[in-house]
Structure 1
Amino acid sequence: MADAAATVAALRAEGKTVFLHCVHAETRTPVVAAAYGARLTASSFRDALDRVRAVLPSAHPRPSIVHTLEKELA
């Protein structure tokens, strides 16, 4: 997921629009969006995930993925 967020950042740096998609936008989409958002705003992954959940209330990422990314992106 961190690699996907890095790819989003690289594409955005080139001025490209990036769309994230997964089946129900419950796990992968919000987690990658939060990882990218944390990187972009220099905030914690948890804060970025809270911002994603505010606009994507169906987001319910698996706790194991959230925990792993919190450690990776700290």
Structure 2
Amino acid sequence: MRPGNLQSSAGRIQDALDVLLQRWEQTREAWRDSRAQHFEDEVIRPLRDELAIATPAIGHMSQILSHAQRELEE
């Protein structure tokens, strides 16, 4: 995978998360029981938290791969 593809994939993941969080907020307006809270605690929050860590790591990896690619081309 080329570094640019890695970065654009991270962008698509972030865009998908943004849509998911918007839809979840809409869903939460109608779904207010303990199962909704459980779903938020067990699925939504961990996913959001993991992607908050993964997205910068993907950006860093993309920079490293770009640097390595330039080094190999010289």
Please give the TM-score of this superposition, normalised by the length of structure 2.
Answer: 0.30
Please give the TM-score of this superposition, normalised by the length of structure 1.
Answer: 0.30
Larger Rg: 2
Give 1 or 2: higher helix fraction: 2
Between the two structures, name the one with larger relative contact order (CA 8 Å, sep ≥ 6).
2
